[in-house]
Structure 1
Amino acid sequence: MRLTRRSLVAAGAGLPFLSLPQARAQRAPGQFRFGLSAFPPSVQAWANTGTAAATVKLLIHRGLLSYDTSGNLRGELAESWTNEGPETWVFRLRPNAVFQNGDPVTAADIQWNLEQIAAERSTAFYRTEMQGIARIEAPDERTIRIIMKTPVATLPYWMASYHMGMVSRRSTPQQQIGAGPFVVRGQERGTAMDLVAFDRYYKPGLPRLKEVRIIAYADENLRVAALQAGDVDLIEYVPWQSMAGIEADPRLTLDAVFGPFMYLLFNATKGPLADARVRRAVAHAIRRDDIVKAAFFGRGAPLEGLPIAPQSAFFDAELAKGWHYDPALSKRLLAEAGLAGGFATSILATAQYGMHKDTAEVVQQSLAAIGIQAELRLPDWATRVNLGNRGQYEMAVQGTATDNNDPDGLSNLVDGSLSPSYVRSIGLRVPALEEAMGQARAEFDAAKRKALYREAQRIALQEVPICGLAWRSQGYAMPKTVTGFRNMPGALSFFSGITLEETAIAG
C-alpha cells in the first residue's frame, strides 16, 4: 500500500486520532517512533483508561515493583521486599531513586501515594484494595511498612501493577511527576506525544533511547502501513489479518503471545440480565470458534470459562469447559427464567478495534439463534470507556488481560465490590465468589490456595460475573533493527511498554 495524502484523507476521514501530517514524518536523530492504537484518554498514574494509556504510563511512571521479561516480580522504586507475617509487608527503597523534578523518592512519598489512592473520593483503580490497609509506617526515609487489616499473600502483585505508579507530592491533576525513564515534553492532543529520556533515572545507562514519539493510528490498517513504510519503529495491536504478512517480511519481526482475551460484561442492575440463569443462557449460546475465526483469523482459542491459562498451576481442565456451546441448554435456561420467547437487548462494543466489532457481531448472531435480539452499539474507544464506567449498557464486549499471572488478577474483573469500571460488570455482586477469592488471597499455602481458586471458578460458572469468549494472540511488530523490546509473557503482554527502557534501534 502506497501512502499518499489523498489516500490518507480518504482512509482517515472521521478518525480524530489520526495525524495526517505525521504519517510521513522523518525520524529526528535519536528518536524512536511508536504507533499506538489510540491516543491515551489520560495518563494519570492511578487511573485505568486502556492499554494505550498503560503503555505511556510505563514510560513516565514507576511503582514499587514490576516484572522482568520472564514474568517474575522485580524491584523498581523498592530494591527489596519481605513478608513479616500474614498482614505485614516491608519494602526497602532504592537510595538513588528520584522523581522527575529532582526530589528523592522517600518512604513519606510512598505513604502519601497509598493514602491518596485509598482516599474516600479517590477514583483510583486500586482504591478498594488499598482501603484494606490498616496502617502505614515509615520508620526511616528508605523503609515503608504496610500493615493490612487481613492477610494478603498477593500484595506484591498489586504493587507491580501499572495502575500503581508512585508520583511526587508536588504533582497536580494536570501535571503528574513520575519517576520513570521518560518525561513528557509535549503533545498534540488526540494525535501524538513526545517524551525525552530522564537523565537521572535510577538505572545506570537506561533508558537507551533519547526520545520517544508516540503517534496514534486509530485505523489498524494505517498502523500496519506506517510500519511497512518505515514511518514508525514499533506498533502495538498488530491486526490478526496482518500477522502472516509481517511474519513473511524479511525486514520485520512479529512478537506475539497468548494471554489477553475477549469477554462479555453484563448490567445486572435491572432487566433480564440480573438473573444468573439468563447470563448462563448467554454463556452457553456463543459460538466461540466463530469468534476465533472472524476476529482473530484463527490466531486464538475458545475461552469457555474464567481466563486462567492452561500453563497456570491453578488451571483445571474440567472447569475450563464450563460454558461449552449448548444452545439447547440456553433455551431451557431462558424458559426457566420465564423468557422462553427471548428478549431484546443491546451490546456495547467499539468500531475502533476490529476485534471488538467482529466479536460483538458473532455474539449478536449467536444470541439471535436462541431468541435474544441484540442491537450493536459501536462508538469510538474513548466513548466506549466512558459509557462502561457509567454503566450505560446492557451487555458489553471487552478485551483485556488479567492484572498478573496469578488467579488473584481476576479479582479486578469479577469482584463486584470494587469501584465501578468499564472492565467489570455493573451492579453484579456475587458474595460467595468475593469470599472465595478473598480467602485465596489471604492464603500463603499453595495447595490451599489452589482449592479455594477452584471453588471460586465453580461459583463463577453458575453466577457468570463475566462470560469468557476467546483467548487471542497479542502482537507487536517492529523492524529487525529494533533490539531490547519484548512482548511480556501471558497476562503481562500489556506490561510490555516497560521494556522500552532497554530498547534501542540501529541506524
Structure 2
Amino acid sequence: MTPTRRSLLAAGAALPFLGAVPARAQRQPGVLRFGLSSFPPSIQPWVNTGTAAATVKLLIYRGLVSFAPDGTLRGELAESWQNENPTTWVFRLRENAVFQNGDRVTSEDIRWNLEQMAAERSTAFYRGQAQRIARIETPDARTVRLVTMEPMVTLPLWFANYHMMMVSPRSPTGAGSLPIGAGPFVLKGQERGVSLDLEPFDRYYKPGLPKLRGVRMIAYADENLRVAALQAGDVDLIEYVPWQAMASIEADPKLRLDAADGPFMYLTFNTTRPHLGDARVRRAIAHAIRREDIVKAAFFGRGSPLEGLPIPPGSPLFDAELATGWRYDPDRARALLAEAGVPNGFSTNILSTAQYGMHKDTAEVVQQHLAAVGIQAELRLPDWATRVTLGNRGQFDISVMGTTTENNDPDGLTNLIDGSLPASYIRSIGLRVPRIEELLAAGRAEFDEAKRRAIYTEMQRIALAEAPIVGLAWRSQGYAMVPEVRGFKALAGALNFFSGITLEETTIG
C-alpha cells in the first residue's frame, strides 16, 4: 500500500517503540555514544523540530545532494546534476542507491516525495520551495528533470537541506511506524525520552561507509549533565557544549572541543498580538537591546553582537552600515514607541526555553532591556518540545530563537523572513512584507552575481525598516569529544547544524 502524505506525516510524529535501550552502558567496540541536547520531538524527515532531531535525521535519511565538510555541494542519491536552462535542473540518480527496505531509489520515488511536500495540506517545512516546481519529468528510472516556475539558481541548495530528505513511498503506515530512508544508519531501538539505538545499513550506497558499528544517541536535556557524562566517560561525543564549559574542555587533555561560528540568536513576533503588528514597535524592540550583554551572559564572550540581518562579515553581501541598522539606542526605542501610540510601553510575553541555558539567558537579558523602555514582558520557559509546539501554533507574543540560515547563500535567509511560507516556530507569525518576498524571489532567480548583490542590499534595507525578525547575537557552536573520536567535524558558518552528516565518516577506537 502506498502511504498518503497525511499518514506519512502522522507516522513520523511518533517514533516506533522498538525495545528499550539502556541510557548508560559500557563502551562497545565501534559504537559511538552521542550525547544529544534533547530527545527529538519527531524525526519525521520533512518537518523542523530542532537540531537534535536534525542530527538523528542525518543518520537515517538522505536527499539528492548534501554538504561536504568544506561546505561545497556533493552528490548523495544523485550522482550528478546540471542546470539545463534557467528554469530546468536535471538530476542523475546513483545506480546503487537503495532505501532501507532494499528497494532501488528511482526517479518516480523522487517525484512522489516532491508531490507530497508540495501538497495543499502538507506541513513540510520546505513546502513553499516544493511548490515552486512547476513540473517533474522522469524520462527514465535514474533521471529527474525539474522545471521551475521561474529561474532558480539556488535549487540544488534546497535538496541539500535535511528538511528535504527522500523516503520510500512504500513506507509502512501503521501507528508509530517510521518512514523508510536511504541513509547510512537504521533505527533499531529506543527508550522514549531517553535514547535511540542505530545500526549500520549494510547496503548504503557509499562503499565502506558508515565506519561505525553503531550509534547510541542518549538525551541529556540538562546541559551540565551532558558535560558531566562526557567527562565521566558515559558518552564519547556531545552537541551543544554549554559556553561556560568550553574553556575547561579546551584545557582538559582527555577531551577535545570542535567549535565554529555561524549560529545566531534572534527574536520573532506574533504580529496578530497587540502592538506587534506595527513595524515601529518591532524596531523599538530592536533598538532597546544591548547585545553585548547577551554575548556575555549567554555565551561567556564566545560570540558577537548581531545588529542587523544574519549576514556574516566575509560574505560578499556584508555591508558595515546595514550590519548595525538595529544598534542599541534606547532613546530611539522610546521615540518609536511614542510614534506608535504606546509612549508608556505595554505588557507582553516572551517565549523561550529553560532546557538550553543560552535561550533562557538571552530571554532574561531581552526582558531586562525591554523593561527599561517600558515594555513589561513575562517569560515563558517550557521544555524544548513544548516550546517548538507553542511556536508552531503561534501561542506567543515575542519568542527567542536560535538557528542558522538554511545555507551560506543569501537565499538561506528565506525561511526566516519570507512571510508567504507556512507557519513555523522559526519565523514571525502573521507578518508578510510583499517587497521582501519579491526581492527574495528575484535574488534566487538571478544568475548574475552583481545583480544578486544589488537585490539583496535592497532587501536588507527594507528588512531593517520592517523588522520581520530582530537579530541579537552571533554565537560559537561547539561539539566536544574524547580523542578517540576521529572524522567528526563541526561544519562552519550556516552549516554548523549539518555537522551530523560527518558521522558516516566517524570512527571510535
TM over 0.5: yes
> Where does residue 73 of structure 1 map in the other structure?
73
- Supply the AA of the counterpart residue of 2:192: R
Q: Work out whether residues 23 and 226 of structure 1, in 8 Å CA contact, stay in contact via their aligned partners in 2.
A: no
Q: After the TM superposition, which segments of 4 or more aligned residues of structure 1 sit over 2 Å from their partners?
A: 21-24
Residue in structure 1 matching 2:446, options 435, 443, 448: 443
Alignment of 1:133-172 (within 5 A): 133-172=133-172
Per-residue deviation, 1:389: 0.2
Per-residue deviation, 1:311: 1.7
Q: Secondary structure at the match of 1:352?
A: coil
> Where does residue 393 of structure 1 map in the other structure?
396
> Where does residue 91 of structure 2 map in the other structure?
91
Q: Secondary structure at the match of 2:208?
A: coil
Alignment of 1:259-338 (within 5 A): 259-338=262-341
Per-residue deviation, 1:29: 3.1
Q: Which whole-Å CA distance do the structure 1 matches of 2:74 and 2:322 have between them?
A: 32
Per-residue deviation, 1:23: 5.9
Q: Secondary structure at the match of 1:444?
A: coil
- Supply the AA of the counterpart residue of 2:256: T
Per-residue deviation, 1:431: 0.6
> Where does residue 214 of structure 1 map in the other structure?
217
Q: Which whole-Å CA distance do the structure 2 matches of 1:253 and 1:447 have between them?
A: 42
Alignment of 1:331-410 (within 5 A): 331-410=334-413
Q: Which whole-Å CA distance do the structure 2 matches of 1:144 and 1:291 have between them?
A: 47
> Where does residue 59 of structure 1 map in the other structure?
59
Alignment of 1:413-452 (within 5 A): 413-452=416-455
Q: Work out whether residues 30 and 507 of structure 2, in 8 Å CA contact, stay in contact via their aligned partners in 1.
A: no
Deviations 1:207-249 (A, max 9, x none): 0001100000000000000001111010000000000000000
Residue in structure 1 matching 2:232, options 208, 229, 234: 229
> Where does residue 13 of structure 1 map in the other structure?
none
Q: Work out whether residues 34 and 213 of structure 1, in 8 Å CA contact, stay in contact via their aligned partners in 2.
A: yes
Are residues 1:200 and 2:221 paired?
Answer: no
Q: Work out whether residues 23 and 194 of structure 2, in 8 Å CA contact, stay in contact via their aligned partners in 1.
A: no
Deviations 1:136-193 (A, max 9, x none): 0000111000000111110011010000110011114522100000000011111100
Q: Which whole-Å CA distance do the structure 2 matches of 1:473 and 1:292 have between them?
A: 10
> Where does residue 116 of structure 1 map in the other structure?
116
Per-residue deviation, 1:195: 0.3
Q: Which whole-Å CA distance do the structure 2 matches of 1:397 and 1:242 have between them?
A: 22
Q: Work out whether residues 262 and 472 of structure 1, in 8 Å CA contact, stay in contact via their aligned partners in 2.
A: yes
Per-residue deviation, 1:351: 0.4
Per-residue deviation, 1:22: 4.8
Q: Which whole-Å CA distance do the structure 2 matches of 1:190 and 1:390 have between them?
A: 22
- Supply the AA of the counterpart residue of 1:144: V
Taking a change above 3 Å as real, the CA distance of residues 23 and 189 of structure 1, as seen in their structure-2 partners, is: closer
Are residues 1:36 and 2:39 paired?
Answer: no
Q: Work out whether residues 267 and 395 of structure 1, in 8 Å CA contact, stay in contact via their aligned partners in 2.
A: yes
Per-residue deviation, 1:68: 0.6
Q: Secondary structure at the match of 1:238?
A: coil
Per-residue deviation, 1:317: 1.3
Deviations 1:74-114 (A, max 9, x none): 11000111001111000001111000000001111111111
Q: Secondary structure at the match of 1:84?
A: strand
- Supply the AA of the counterpart residue of 1:375: E
Q: Which whole-Å CA distance do the structure 1 matches of 2:458 and 2:118 have between them?
A: 29
Q: Which whole-Å CA distance do the structure 2 matches of 1:168 and 1:112 have between them?
A: 9
Residue in structure 1 matching 2:243, options 240, 244, 249: 240
Q: Work out whether residues 483 and 503 of structure 1, in 8 Å CA contact, stay in contact via their aligned partners in 2.
A: yes
Q: Which whole-Å CA distance do the structure 1 matches of 2:457 and 2:22 have between them?
A: 50
Per-residue deviation, 1:31: 1.3
Q: Secondary structure at the match of 1:274?
A: coil
Per-residue deviation, 1:355: 0.4
Q: Work out whether residues 234 and 478 of structure 1, in 8 Å CA contact, stay in contact via their aligned partners in 2.
A: yes
- The two structures, once aligned, show a CA RMSD in angstroms of 1.1
Task: Report the TM-score, using the length of structure 2 for normalisation.
Answer: 0.95
Q: Work out whether residues 306 and 472 of structure 2, in 8 Å CA contact, stay in contact via their aligned partners in 1.
A: yes
| Structure 1 range deviating more: 167-176 or 234-243 | 167-176
Q: Which whole-Å CA distance do the structure 1 matches of 2:478 and 2:29 have between them?
A: 27
Q: Name stretches of at least 5 consecutive residues in structure 2 with no aligned partner.
A: 1-20
- Supply the AA of the counterpart residue of 2:504: E
Deviations 1:405-424 (A, max 9, x none): 01111100100100000000
Are residues 1:129 and 2:132 paired?
Answer: no
- How many residues are paired up? 487
